[in-house]
Structures are given as C-alpha cells and as structure tokens.
Structure 1
Amino acid sequence: MDLRQLRYFIVLANQQHFGRAANVLHVAQPALTRQIQLLEEELGVQLFVRHARGATPTEEALFLLERASFLLRYAEQLKQDMMARQRDPRGPVAVGLSPGLALLLAVPLTRAVHRRMPDVRLRIVEGLAQSLQGMLLQGTVDLAVLNYPAQGTNLVTFPLLTEDICLIGRPDDKRMHAPKAKLKQFGGLPLVMTGVAKSGVRLELEVGAARAGVELNQMVEVETVEVAKRLVRDGVGLTVHFAAAVKEDLEAGRLNAIPIEGLHLRRIIARASDRPPSRATEEMIDILRTVIEELVQGGEWPHAVLDS
C-alpha cells in the first residue's frame, strides 16, 4: 500500500466511476483499475462493487476512506511543515485564553508575534477553561492556556506559573486592609462569583470553602472578571480572582487585591497530542512563554511565580 494507491482509492470512492476518476487523476483507466485491484489484494477485501453505472464503495471501502483521507492530510501537512523549515514561520495560529488572561496578554503577545513572526496571523480566542479544552481537541485553537491539571491525557502541556488567588475589593473596604484573607472569614462576605461552577478560580474557591466548612454568600454570578470588577467598584460586593486580571484598577487605586491563604492556581500551555504542531505553533509556544516570563519578572503579573 502506498500514498498513490490511497489517493486513487479516495478519488474513485468520491467519483464512484472509473472513467470519471481516471479523468480527475489524469491517468489511464487501466492503470487506475490495476492499482485498485492491487490494493484490494493487499487488504484482502473487496472495496468496490462494479456495475454498468460505475463502482459503488463497499462497507470496507467506507471504513478505509476516513483513515486514508487522514493519512493523506497528515502526509500533506508533513510536506508543508518540512518546506516551512526552510523559510520563516507563516500562516494562522489560534491561541485560546480566558477572558481575564486575554485582558493581560493580548497587547504584549500581539506585539511580540508581529516582531518575531511578521508573516503569522495571530487569532486570540476567548473562552472559559472547559470550552478552551474542547476547542483544543476539536482543532478550533492550536494552543490554549489552561489551569492545571487539565482533564484527559490527549494533551501535550508546558508549565507556566503558579499564582495566588486573591480577594478583590475597593480600597476603602476595611476587609481589604489585611495582608492575607482567610477562608474561614468568608461566611458573611457578599461575593460576586465569576466563571462557571467546578471550573478555574471558582472551583478552587468552592473546594477551599467546603474544606473550611464555610458556606459562600453568592450575591450575583457573572461570566467574566470585566463585569465582576464593575460590580465590585460599584459596591455590590467583593470578588475572587487572580490579581493580574485587574492590574489596571490596582495601579489606578480603584481596587485592592489580597492573597487568600492556601488558594493557588497553576497555569500551563497545552496543545492537542494527536495533531503535530506547525512551525508557527512551535514558535508561538516559545513566544507565549517569553511574554509571560517578562510580565512576571517585571512585576506586571502580581502574586505569581514562574514554574520550571
């Protein structure tokens, strides 16, 4: 079995007629017929039912079609990747980020990509943790920054950082003047909950509160930190998130963030293990790690430490 035979087989399975398939392939019909016969003999199955109107694929042919198409796509990608090694990275790369991380990373990441890979088109896709992993597996994004541990074993991961989860509130709130917040004091706090249950920051908070025997007082639920911080500034309550997501408000004195004792979040870069990365994707991993390292080391990512 070789790639030429598989290509002939795929065209014939789609055309369902030897004459039409031979025209598409620009080969003589006897040559096509011979290659299909050799493939059937090697596999030990009948792939087509020949009749006056053409050739109908058998069940075995339909089974083979999906796998043969994948092999040819894989071979084509391999060819393109090898050619790409001889030139600068190019093409689209989609990176999945949570809304909070997108606020922090969009500008420095875009600048770094334009500087190092001018022929690459960066696409930033925002989503919550569970949806980002689904996008990775479906191929909607090439890379994503996820929380560790990610579910499943079909991912290749790279360590990034560990950061404190913080209680975030207005600076004039006396509860925000302590060096650290303790979960056992959360019982009466009015909370603006972000994200979805059993995911990300909210999962860590809910697990920590259950361990401490504290029932959380959820005033309102929102999806993004952008909405949450507006409610906090308006005095609705406090929220729990990572401090870097509200960095501009911290620097402007509109909000304050204090670490919650015992609550941390680990970040990783992930890609799907069943699809080999393009050269542009490999370079994007390095750029993303470099951008994040510079932010942490420069004090632009508060309450975070790099993982080795």
Structure 2
Amino acid sequence: MEVRQLRYFASVAREGSFGRAAVRLNVAQPALSRQIKKLEEELGVELFVRHPHGITMTAAARNLAPRAEHILEEIDGFRHALEQPDAVEKRCLRIGVSPGTAELLAYPLSQLIQRRHPQLTCEFVSMLMPARADLLREGQMALSVMNRPRSLNGLRILPLLREPLCLIHRPDDTRLDPVSIDIADLAGIALILGGDRDSGVRSIIEEAFSSVGLRLTVAAVANTAGTCKALVREGVGPTIHVAAMARAELERGELCAVPIRGLYSVRVIALSEEAEMTPDLRLMIDTVRDCFADLVHSGRWLRAEMIGCPAPIEA
C-alpha cells in the first residue's frame, strides 16, 4: 500500500466524487481511478460502488476513511516537523464566523491546523455577517465562513456546502408533518427569526415567503442562533435554521428539525477581492474545506453536502 493511494482514497471519500477529487489532487481522473482499483485489489474489498449518478462508499470505505485521514495527518506532520527549525514563530490568521458556527467549528479546525500546519494559528472573530464582511473588505480578516451574502460587492466567494433549512421546534409541537413540509405549510405560524436582515438565512426565509404570497409572522427576533434555540425551548415558537446549529439539542431530544422542501442555504468561504493569495492563506482555505468535509462525511455537521471544487486561485 502506497501513501499516494491512501491520499487518493481519502480525497475521493471527502469529495464524494472521482472527478472532484481528481481536480483537487491535480491528477488525471483515469490515473486516480487506477490507483483506487489497485488499493481495492490489495485490500481485497470494494471501497466505492460506481453507478450512473456518482459513487457510494461501502462499509469498508467508511471504516477506512477516518483511519486513512489520521495516518495522512501523522505523515504530513512528521514531514513538516523535519522541515522546520526547532523554534518556529507562529503566524496568525483571523477567521470570521458566526457565534453559532464558532461553537461547532472552532475546536476541530484548531486541532486540524495544529496537526497539519504548526507554523500557523488562527484567531476566531465571532460576529454577525455584515460586520465580518466589512472587516474582510477592509483587509482586517483573512477569510470568513458565512452563508452566501446578498451583496457580493468587494468579496470573492468559494462555495463550501449546501444545507437544507429546517423548521426547528419543540417535540410537543405537533402542528406540522414531522418528516417534511412546504413553505406554504407555515402560513400563520409565528416564527423566531434572526435579527440580521442581510444574513443568508434571514433573506432566504423572507424571499421564500414572498415568492408564495405569504405574510411572514414573527414571534420574536434574536441576533444569535443560541438565543433563537433558547426561545424555541421556552415555547415562544419555532425557528428556521440549518440542523447543524441545533445538533446538541437534536441529539438530546430537546428539539426536532423538519426539512422545508426546496429551501437551502449555501455556506461559503468569503475573501476580500483585494486579498493577496499568500501561501498561508492558501493553506488555511484548504484546511477549512477539509475540516468541513470531515464534519459533513462523519455526520457531525448534520444534513449537509459539500459542493463545488476548489478552483485554481491566482496568486
């Protein structure tokens, strides 16, 4: 078994596609497929089921993926340690996130950066999206993870993942179908909304109601996902958000999340159009993408799918 084969396998598992993995690895897809086939033959198991609409990981692949990632991280860390002097001055990049995203992302991303790039560290800047966008445009932040903003003025957007928006409610609220609902089913239901009208989620909700001629009934407005969840738990009303923001409450059975058909949020990495694409920034973008891919494929970032390929970034 070659390290290259493990690296190819891990990339296909993260991306969920031979084509996207080939682009990410900068190799020809036939060469990638041959190496995966050799790995399957050596292990004596099938790792991916190929079908007309893509691929599906087998049980063997799902078991191997986290182990392969761990091995590759150890190898990369070992190589990096050999290349670095004993004393390394860490370089810090500021990453903007919402308060809710910070709760889910800060720890795994910090750990991944520490393992892969010990010369780098990050400062998480947690604030609402308009303020983060302003800091990006002013050059005071390296990048921000955010829902796709209404205004792209001065920003460069790299697609990251797509998530269905869900009605998040208490288990004892039985007014709606517990499996899936339409936006029209929410007519007359007073909702808890985020306070930022320019945020991706709030604007998607308002546009969806407007598109079907419904009036949006508001029970309360809160500036953070944490406050929204607290109000839902207290019975003020349901809210609309991505399921990942309520993962802990969903796992404990305190809240329920019902997907709203046809309603999705796209999460992106945002950069300033004027940002210099330094080697450190390139590393951070790749690490953020890989961290999200691991969270999505391991089920820790609920009901999401990775989208887009990392397009070549000009220096």
Tell me which interval the TM-score lies in, with the shorter structure as reference length: 0.5 to 0.7
Corresponding residue number in structure 2 for 1:120: 120
Corresponding residue number in structure 2 for 1:134: 134
Corresponding residue number in structure 2 for 1:277: 277
Once the two structures are superposed, the pairs formed by residues 2-17 of structure 1 within 5 Å of their partners are none
Structure 2: where are the runs of 5+ without partners? Answer: 1-82, 309-315
Q: Is the 8 A contact 1:176 1:257 kept in 2?
A: no
Q: Is the 8 A contact 2:176 2:185 kept in 1?
A: no
Q: What is the deviation of 1:218?
A: 0.6
Q: What is the deviation of 1:293?
A: 0.3
Q: Which one has the largest radius of gyration?
A: 1
Corresponding residue number in structure 1 for 2:62: none
Q: In structure 2, do the counterparts of structure 1 residues 247 and 214 end up closer, same or farther at CA, with 3 Å as the change threshold?
A: same
Deviations 1:158-183 (A, max 9, x none): 22111101100011211355211211
User: TM-score, normalised to structure 2's length?
Assistant: 0.66
Which piece of structure 1 moves more, 195-204 or 218-227? 195-204
Q: In structure 2, do the counterparts of structure 1 residues 302 and 165 end up closer, same or farther at CA, with 3 Å as the change threshold?
A: same
Q: In structure 2, do the counterparts of structure 1 residues 143 and 198 end up closer, same or farther at CA, with 3 Å as the change threshold?
A: closer
Determine helix, strand or coil for the equivalent of 1:174: coil
Q: Partners of 2:149 and 2:231 in 1: how far apart?
A: 30
Determine helix, strand or coil for the equivalent of 2:175: helix
2:255 is the alignment partner of 1:229: no
Structure 1: where are the runs of 5+ without partners? Answer: 1-85
Determine helix, strand or coil for the equivalent of 1:167: strand
Q: Partners of 2:221 and 2:116 in 1: how far apart?
A: 40
Q: Partners of 2:172 and 2:102 in 1: how far apart?
A: 28
Corresponding residue number in structure 2 for 1:211: 211
2:104 is the alignment partner of 1:104: yes
Q: Partners of 2:253 and 2:188 in 1: how far apart?
A: 25
Q: Partners of 1:291 and 1:196 in 2: how far apart?
A: 27
Q: In structure 2, do the counterparts of structure 1 residues 89 and 200 end up closer, same or farther at CA, with 3 Å as the change threshold?
A: farther
Q: In structure 2, do the counterparts of structure 1 residues 217 and 258 end up closer, same or farther at CA, with 3 Å as the change threshold?
A: same
Letter in 2 for 1:303: R
Letter in 2 for 1:243: A
Q: Is the 8 A contact 1:89 1:280 kept in 2?
A: no
Number of aligned residue pairs: 223
Letter in 2 for 1:264: Y
Corresponding residue number in structure 2 for 1:251: 251
Q: Is the 8 A contact 1:133 1:146 kept in 2?
A: no
Q: Is the 8 A contact 2:150 2:198 kept in 1?
A: no
Letter in 2 for 1:126: S
Once the two structures are superposed, the pairs formed by residues 78-93 of structure 1 within 5 Å of their partners are 90-93=90-93
Q: Partners of 1:246 and 1:182 in 2: how far apart?
A: 20
Q: Is the 8 A contact 2:147 2:200 kept in 1?
A: yes
Once the two structures are superposed, the pairs formed by residues 27-106 of structure 1 within 5 Å of their partners are 90-106=90-106
Determine helix, strand or coil for the equivalent of 2:104: helix
Q: Partners of 2:178 and 2:152 in 1: how far apart?
A: 39
Q: In structure 2, do the counterparts of structure 1 residues 139 and 169 end up closer, same or farther at CA, with 3 Å as the change threshold?
A: same
Q: Partners of 2:112 and 2:175 in 1: how far apart?
A: 39
Deviations 1:12-52 (A, max 9, x none): xxxxxxxxxxxxxxxxxxxxxxxxxxxxxxxxxxxxxxxxx
Determine helix, strand or coil for the equivalent of 1:299: coil
Deviations 1:276-300 (A, max 9, x none): 1332221111110001001111111
Deviations 1:163-205 (A, max 9, x none): 1011000112113552112111222212111131242111100
Give me the identity figure in percent: 35
Deviations 1:124-161 (A, max 9, x none): 11122222211111122101113336633533332211
